[in-house]
Chains A and B, each alone.
Chain A
Amino acid sequence: MVIRNRLLFDEVKHLPLIETETELIKRASEGNPEAFEVLVQRYQKYVYNLALSVIGNRDEAFDAAQETFIRAWRSLKDFRGDARFSTWIYRIAYRVSLTVVARKRPLPIDDLPEPICEDASANPEEAAENDYRQALLRRAIMNLAPAYRTALILYHLEDLSYEEIASITGVPIGTVRTHLHRGRNYLKREIVRLSGGDENEM
């Protein structure tokens, strides 16, 4: 199996863990904004990425992420800890994002977000090639149907399990698996289409 090294809480580990997440949630649900602020800090990146994956537009993803946290704040007292907090907040983000998608026009290709290059390679040619591949891959992902795109991003980029994705999106695990497998197949074809190459050369 391919090693998936981007764990959801990798970056969380680097934040000052003065309190456990359970304590933070408890304090936030009692109306403590400072505790909630720490939770927002921890999850904003993942919530924003999920919204961006579903919506495909930065400004709307920003609004959706903001709306997600406001809704989470309002309903924190209903969070019973049956699921992980991350799953719970992802579920809110997914619903908010779907609402945004439902009321917007189809996404024109020019509105697609540009990739963010985090590591500048020492070799400019390599870096350019890497940037090109990443841009191509992102564009191909964004061209997928939302259900396939979401399954793919949640599984591969946000490192969630089939079960967690099913819980977030509200579909059976078998459907998540199908979305993921079909999504990969379509992605492969889309990359070939965008690059004008041969499928067997990928």
Chain B
Amino acid sequence: MKCEQARGMMHAILDGSHSDAEINAYRHHLCECEQCRCEDQRWRSLITEIEALPLWKEPASLLPAVMNSLSTETQEEESKIGPVLLFGFFAFLVYHLLSSLKTLSANAGGDIELFHNPVFMYLAWIIVGLAFSAGLIYFLMRKKAHVKFL
């Protein structure tokens, strides 16, 4: 092995990413070449020095800051469920109000044409159903896995 070859594979040897045969050839060259031996030693010292560097200590406030942010985020998510349920409740009330009006109107002998319109009644049911389903699904999924879709 020549010096050029040895220098070329020095980093890979230091990282342990060469075959045993190549490592042996490299070692054999180092025994014969003082310059390469010194170079190898310098790299090993540098790497040892790098690896001896202590990691920076994380600030003590990092964990509380993360948990605070999560808590705020969870509260924000929870606050979204209020309007959904309120909307569902409102839709429910509207439907019952309309039903009551229809009953009252029928009892009074009057007639409100709108209530006889099947398209209107069908749409009313759809709106009420959707509002409730959305509220319920959101509530259940949020409980399960913090899903945000609103």
Contact = CB atoms under 8 A, between A and B. Distances in A.
A41 interface: yes
Q: Which of B15, B63, B66, B146 has the most CB of A within 10 A?
A: B66
A21 interface: no
A44 interface: yes
A157 B146 contact: no
A37 B53 contact: no
A95 to B, nearest CB: 17
Interface string B16-59: 11000000000000000000001000111111111101111111
Contact of A29 (B11, B67, B145): B145
Interface in A167-202: 177, 180-181, 184, 187-188, 191, 200, 202
B58 A65 contact: yes
Contact of A33 (B46, B49, B67): B67
A115 B146 CA distance: 40
B51 A5 contact: yes
B: contact size bracket = 35 or more
B70 interface: yes
Interface string B63-103: 10111011101100000000000000000000000000000
B56 to A, nearest CB: 5
B59 A45 contact: no
B134 interface: no
A31 B12 contact: no
A113 B48 CA distance: 21
Given A2-B44, A37-B63, A73 B70 contact: yes
A184 B46 CA distance: 9
Given A31-B146, A187-B46, A6 B70 contact: no
Interface of B is mostly: helix
Contacts of B144: 30-31
B14 A2 contact: yes
Interface string B105-136: 00000000000000000000000000000000
A84 interface: no
Contacts of B17: 162, 177
Interface stretch (A85-93, A96-104, A131-139): A131-139
A62 interface: yes
Contacts of A33: 67, 70-71, 74
Nearest 5 CB-CB pairs, A to B? A48-B58, A1-B16, A181-B11, A118-B54, A69-B66
18 contacts: A1-B15, A2-B44, A5-B51, A40-B66, A45-B58, A70-B73, A115-B53, A117-B54, A118-B54, A119-B54, A134-B54, A137-B50, A156-B50, A156-B51, A157-B50, A187-B50, A200-B38, A202-B46
Interface of B: 11-12, 14-17, 38, 42-51, 53-59, 61-63, 65-67, 69-71, 73-74, 143-146
